[in-house]
Amino acid sequence: MVGQRYFVAPDYGSTSVEEGATMTPVRIDMPVQAGIGGTIAGRVFTPDLEAAASLPAPVWAVLAPGATEDWHYWDMRAAGVEGNWSYAEALAARGIGAVLVDTYGVGDSVYQGHGSDLSTEVLALAHHQAATQIRERLRSGELAAGVAAVDPVLVGMGHSGGGGLTVCMQGQHATYDLVVSFGLPASEFGGYEGGADEVRTLLTLNDQGYYDLALSEASMEVSFTADVPEALLKAQEGYARAIPPGLPQLMQPGVVAKAAAQIEVPVFLCFGEIDLAKNPLAEFDHFTGTKDVTVHIQAGARHCPQISPVRHQLAETVFTWIYGRSRYGAAARRGK
């Protein structure tokens, strides 16, 4: 493939989001028919209008959380913690609108059947249906109050299990114009000594068909650097959710890789310097359908880079990548 590159970003410093600033997101709900049906809940963060006007095209992102997370992962807040830890606000400050969704059947997203129904395929279909509605509502000006009608470059962005789910959505349904995935490899798992097999030992199936994850010292070391405030770690733990089975299925060999090979749009893959990918550069081998794959290793971060002291550097790097593709490529592919 051509157009691939590997880099560690320089220190861009803080984005334009003010330290400690907060926004109040607007909740929306989208009916979906995957499985026996239900709804996917989202929180809308509207972009700064002046910053949005400076972009080459309107850009909106749909942010999927990781396996044990809900939408709060992208909008972390904790009393007594200095600075702004909201990744959604960092995007909005740069002019990118954001919709933070809860995984189908998790948090405020509702599945009407038993959790055991929620395979990777069902989750991918449900989230494709929701993202399609988000695109349609943006075009019609009906996403949320105060959001003008735009024809967006729509970015699928996911962390960990949400990243793998976003890759599967794109491979199976061609949902987005751009894909940004954090932390979940299509290649061999690393981070834990036993790889994906060790992660599975932390999962316990409950009566509702979901998995509970027992956090361990090893999982915390893989996920967070030692300088993350303790209050944020406690807040993150407080938002922990049970996991639908389709997310652990992403660790099975070939599941993400098969979808990755079907993707034709630009892809940005981000891993911390310690993360779940044994070799991030091996990811290039799986995205054979696109000529534009970027693998970024975020220095100073681990598996949860948005909850790290280098979060602003990461946000600026992702923004710069999106800016270039929306200027020179993705806008021309809109119209789905």
Average pLDDT, the chain: 90
Could you give the 3-state DSSP secondary structure of residue 237?
Answer: helix
Average of per-residue pLDDT across 265-277: 95
Range list of β-strands (E), 120-240? 153-159, 178-182, 203-205, 211-213
| Among 12-26, 229-243, 263-277, the least confident range | 12-26
Residue 219's pLDDT band, with cuts at 50, 70 and 90, is: confident
Per-residue pLDDT tens over the stretch 222-251:
999 999 999 999 998 888 899 999 999 999
| Cα separation, 246 vs 268, whole angstroms | 23
> Given 3-state DSSP classes, what are the helix, strand and coil percentages for the chain, each rounded to the nearest 5?
35, 20, 45
| Cα separation, 262 vs 331, whole angstroms | 20
Per-residue pLDDT tens over the stretch 44-98:
999 999 999 999 999 999 999 999 999 999 999 988 898 899 999 999 999 999 9
Number of CB atoms found within 10 A of residue 134's CB: 24
Secondary structure (H, E, C), 21-35: CCCCCEEEEEEECCC
Question: Does residue 7 have a pLDDT over 70?
Answer: no
Report long-range pairs for 281-287 (Cβ below 8 Å, ≥24 apart).
281/6, 282/185, 282/187, 282/188, 283/185, 283/186, 283/187, 284/1, 284/4, 285/187, 286/186, 286/187, 286/256, 286/257, 286/260, 286/261, 287/1, 287/186, 287/260, 287/261, 287/263
Residue 330's pLDDT band, with cuts at 50, 70 and 90, is: low
